Amino acid sequence: MKLPATAFILLAATATFAQQASAPPPLALTHVTIIDTSGGPPQPDMTVLLRDGRIASIEKSASAAVPADAEVVDARGHFLLPGLWDMHVHLSWTSASALPVFVANGVTGVRDLGGRLGQLDDWRTRIAAGLLVGPRIYRAGPMLNGRSFNPLQMVPGGPDETCGVVRALKQVEVDFLKTHRRLPRDSYFALIDEAKKQDLAVVGHIPMEVTPEEASDAGQASLEHTETLFEGTFSANLKEGELPEAIRRFRTDGSAEKLFARFVQNKTVVTPTLVAYRSIFATIDPSYPPDPHSRYVARSYKEAARQRAQAGTPEEIHMFTHTFAEMREVVRLMNRAGVTLVTGSDTAGPRIPGFTLHDELALLVESGLTPQQALQAATLNPARLLKKEADFGTVEAGKLADLVLLDANPLDDIRNTQKISAVILGGRLFRRADLDALLRDAEAQASKN
């Protein structure tokens, strides 16, 4: 494939920026307690040496040799985690001001499930070159749907056309494919088959004409949103207001147990995004308290959301309340059954970047996960799903130096993930003062966009 001249200019500029961006000096975190996200006990009083953007060594502090040219951070009393992952975002429905907010919250990687490739790749280039502070971005490009409801969705057509779209997206090097609810049944299975040939994972919603069992058996890598289990075939014959009770029956009559055993057998991953569903309350319930972190959302998205907002009736609020409670119980059952879960916020439009990932962690623990399991959903499980275990997921020698330093132990209280002392991204240290400066700048940018 012949590249246009602009592509060569972009590649040349990227190479130049990469050469100009000096590698951070060696960094030693001494006397730190490492949280083992693979499930082992915390490792106290360790020295972690970072060099050239990776973890060079991990030793007991009593015997560790710290290079003379290393910057030393005395981290006694602090706890070290791998960088957190938000596995469901839509960055093209945010502004660039959202990117540093993720980093300031210890979110060093995101999975974008529907956005403009040109915009996302521009941001990736600038982040890699050190011109912009932001997380690592893995992206699907357009959402594949049977109807286009917004500019980020593409209608791939019938089965043959869908296979052609898969090959085209492979050519432009997307990281995976995203399917949405309205994709026709025959196009969906053509998508799955062609994706396997192209070595691309398929993630997303369960199409309305496909059952969760069929999606899992077909090999869809991850199912997005707890509610995707109860759309389409599940709720097709339900009357208004009957969904909460239908989910309760699903939980208690053995159906959930059978389905989740199938997910485990097929290694189907689920992104619950409970925090995204909870955000509905902010739009329909006038008594729902405002979130002070909304100041980090671009003004234009807040204004648009405010204009669309419509208070719900008492009956609607009651139904959403009970449906949300049922979904939390479904997540409890999935975790108990051994289904692999990953964290996602569905950040887009008025939804708040970064901070809501911590809210999702808290909701997962409230839904039955241990703090260790919740941390795995934000670290180790995303690395496995992305097939990037060699680089991410645990604090180990050889892995990328994407790390979060906490003031308190998150295994004692998951909300301690919010007590961030420092973030390290690719070996670059952002102390608390640096993170606060990122947030101030992001707030200023958001107020203008």
247-261 tens-digit pLDDT? 999 999 999 999 999
Can you tell me the mean pLDDT for 200-212? 97
Per the rule left: phi > 0, alpha: psi between -120 and 50, beta: everything else, 423 is beta
Where are the domains positioned within the chain? 14-81+396-446, 84-385
User: Is the domain 84-385 a CATH 3.20.20.140 member?
Assistant: yes
Tokens of 28: 């030693």
Q: Checking DSSP bridges between strand 79-82 and strand 27-34, what pairing results, if any? A: parallel
Do 84-385 and 14-81+396-446 have the same topology in CATH? no
- Report the share of the chain in percent with pLDDT over 90: 84
- Report which residue type is found at 359: D
Asked whether the beta carbons of 215 and 185 are under 8 A apart, the reply is no
pLDDT at 4: 39
Backbone angles phi, psi at 406, to 5 degrees: -110, 155
Q: Checking DSSP bridges between strand 107-112 and strand 84-89, what pairing results, if any? A: parallel
User: Is the domain 14-81+396-446 a CATH 3.90.550.10 member?
Assistant: no
Predicted confidence band of residue 323 (pLDDT cuts 50, 70, 90): very high
pTM of the model: 0.93
pLDDT at 281: 84
DSSP 394: S
Q: Which residues contact 151 (CB under 8 A, 6 or more apart)?
A: 116
Q: Checking DSSP bridges between strand 428-431 and strand 420-425, what pairing results, if any? A: antiparallel
pLDDT at 40: 95
Can you tell me the mean pLDDT for 270-282? 93
pLDDT at 301: 87
Can you tell me the mean pLDDT for 75-83? 98
Mean pLDDT rounded to a whole number for the chain = 93
pLDDT at 22: 62
User: Per residue in 220-232, pLDDT tens?
Assistant: 999 999 999 999 9
Please state the separation of Cα 270 from the chain's center in Å: 12
pLDDT at 314: 85
Tokens of 135: 């997380």
